[in-house]
Amino acid sequence: MVTPKKRHTLVFDEEEEEAINFYTKEELQLFLELLFKERPFKYYLMYRILAFTGLRKGELLALYWSDIDFSQKTLRVRKTLAEPKGGRILQTPKSIASRRIISLDEQTLSFLATWREEQVKEYATFSQNIEDDVKQLIFSRYYPKNKEFDFLRLAHLNDKLFHFLIHHPELPNITVHALRHTHASLLFEAGVTIKDVQARLGHSDIKTTMDIYTHVTNSAKERAAKAFEDFMKF
């Protein structure tokens, strides 16, 4: 059995979240290309949104179609999914900063429009009807016991990612939350300001954003030193 590649990590405290791990731009591209080929479109889109917006998984699974504004090209975060005592409830984000509006790229919007059409077919398979945008979850799952669609479990995305990466040792073994850190890292590499990254990710504390920024700049310094070493060769 081939051992998955070691993930890139940086340990720091982020609102009681785990140590950071992330994908490079090239790794993310390969990850999404493989997902698109091998997994249902719904799952490809969920992981793409996480990587292209920096949403937390609870925020993703709490999205309704009314949270997407196709004309303004935005996604609104106003609630998050929580699982107290095994149940599933919607609650307001843990900080005011987490309630935010995120701009979406054209390709992700196009994929969302495609999924909106595909979702009708998915529901019809189980003789279920799509509700209006305010009541219709973007991502849900059919539960045979209740004979209805409802929220996905928070662990569902973790499980799917784990089983996918088992078959792809060429990719670093990351967590779902790593896609949020990946988004932050790539924003910095693209030249986005610290304050704008803080707002997009909904960080209540600028220190959290600064920790990721420090990681990105240190990585850039290491790449520069290595490039110089390879060029000189004496």
Residue segments in the chain with a per-residue pLDDT below the cut of 50: 1-4, 6-18
Q: What is the pLDDT of residue 224?
A: 63
Provide the token pair at 21: 């791990």
Amino acid found at 86: G
- The answer to whether 22 and 171 have CB atoms below 8 angstroms apart is no
Question: Under CATH, what is the fold of the domain 8-229?
Answer: hpI Integrase; Chain A (1.10.443)
The CA distance from 201 to 208, in Å, is 10
Nearest Cα neighbor of 78 from 45, 102, 54 is: 102
Domain boundaries, the chain: 8-229
Q: Which residues contact 43 (CB under 8 A, 6 or more apart)?
A: 35, 160
Q: Which residues contact 221 (CB under 8 A, 6 or more apart)?
A: none
Q: How far apart are the first and last CA of the chain?
A: 39
Q: What is the pLDDT of residue 106?
A: 96
